[in-house]
Structure formats: C-alpha cells, structure tokens
Chain A
Amino acid sequence: EAGVTQFPSHSVIEKGQTVTLRCDPISGHDNLYWYRRVMGKEIKFLLHFVKESKQDESGMPNNRFLAERTGGTYSTLKVQPAELEDSGVYFCASSHRQGGYNEQFFGPGTRLTVL
C-alpha cells in the first residue's frame, strides 16, 4: 500500500510569490490533515478535510492560505502571496475515518523556504 505522498519535496521562492503544495493521501482515507512545523517549534495543525469538506480550519494562519480537496482525493495548499514567516515544513497526514483512535499517517513533508 502506497503511503502519503507530497510534492514538491522542497520549494524555494521569493517573498510575494505563490506556491502550491500537493498531498496525495492513502487511497480510501477520508480524513486529510495539513500541519506545519516552523524550525525548532512544534508541529502545528492547519486544517482538516473529511472527504472534500473542510471539517476544521481553525489552524490556518491567515487568508493567504487556501486549501482545497477536489473530489475528496488529493489536496492542495496554496500560499499567495508568500511571506518570510511562511517558511517551514508542511506535512500532510491522512486517516481512515473520523473518531475512534485511527492512526494518522504522515507524508514526508514539503520544505518551503521563502527568501
């Protein structure tokens, strides 16, 4: 079974540019999460999809961040325009179903550097 995949693995952009990160969850997983780790800090929750619907987006930092999950499959996270403080590692995770103690499987992350 393929794990969670993320693309690209690294992205270096200038301040003010736009970047789109992609996550492909494990097939059949309804739940998809985005997290971010800024260097030296904790991994922080950004938002949670159940299929194509946003269940919880309380962690999104501001309206420069836009997440979508068309058709309930892969998800994209767009940052427009990017700022220096957006630098960090963006993780995507998926789990089989909501509730219970379902394990969240993490992707390898996308390292975003904003110069």
Chain B
Amino acid sequence: QQQVKQSPQSLIVQKGGISIINCAYENTAFDYFPWYQQFPGKGPALLIAIRPDVSEKKEGRFTISFNKSAKQFSLHIMDSQPGDSATYFCAARLRANQAGTALIFGKGTTLSVSS
C-alpha cells in the first residue's frame, strides 16, 4: 500500500515553462511535507518543505501548494531551466511522537527541461 502517490512519473517541459508535480496522501497524521531533488549520482537533497497549516510556500522559482481537505500537495517550478532537470520526490512524515520520524516517499518524477 503506497501512502504517498506521486504523478506524473516523467515530465518534459520547455525552457521557461511551468513544471507541475502532484502528490496525494491518505494519512492525516502526516505533519510535514518536503520535496527532494535528486541529480544523477547524488543523493536526494531537500528543495522545499511545507507544514499542513500553510496553504502555500514559495522559495524563488519553487512553490508548494497544499490542499489539506483534498489531501493533496503539488510542486510548481516556474520559469523551468535545463539545470532543473532531475528526479523530484515528494515525501511525508508522521508526527514526531508516532513511530519515529522516517520519511515516506512518492515514487519520484523525472523532469527534463528542454532548451
């Protein structure tokens, strides 16, 4: 049973376009939703994260939109650049006082930005 569902599996976007990756979850005990970016040969690196009491968080060209009632959150990359080409993982974490603080990941989205 996959607790965090991520789509699409792969995405091709033109340079300057908007990349959108979606995630959905079921467990209302999740209290932290990070997005990780991974380049080939490297480990995942935290890109941006949000808590469920906030509906949107923006850092530069990266924005998380969070819909608590729908149990969905998404990553928007504005003005996508070839350097953004990477694999993106959404994740969720149970509250720290429940079953530790492990992250539960989606399957990942491979983004290719064409120039």
Contact = CB atoms under 8 A, between A and B. Distances in A.
Contacts of B45: 105-106
Interface stretch (A39-47, A61-69, A76-84): A39-47
Interface string A69-97: 00000000000000000000001010100
A75 B41 CA distance: 21
Given A55-B100, A98-B96, A99-B101, A43 B44 contact: yes
A31 B101 contact: yes
Interface residues on A, range: 20 to 34
Given A101-B32, A106-B45, A41 B107 contact: yes
Contact of B46 (A48, A103, A109): A103
B44 A101 contact: no
B105 interface: yes
B89 interface: yes
Instruction: Say what secondary structure dominates the interface of chain B.
Output: loop
B105 A108 contact: no
A52 to B, nearest CB: 16
Among B100, B104, B105, residue most surrounded by chain A Cβ atoms (within 10 Å): B100
A33 B102 contact: yes
A32 to B, nearest CB: 12
Contacts of B46: 103-105
A4 interface: yes
Interface of B: 2, 4, 6, 32, 34, 36, 41-46, 49, 51, 89, 96-97, 99-108
Interface of A: 4, 31, 33, 35, 40-45, 48, 55-56, 58-59, 91, 93, 95, 98-101, 103-109
Given A33-B103, A106-B45, 12 more contacts: A4-B43, A31-B101, A42-B4, A43-B108, A44-B105, A55-B100, A58-B99, A99-B101, A101-B51, A103-B49, A104-B46, A106-B44
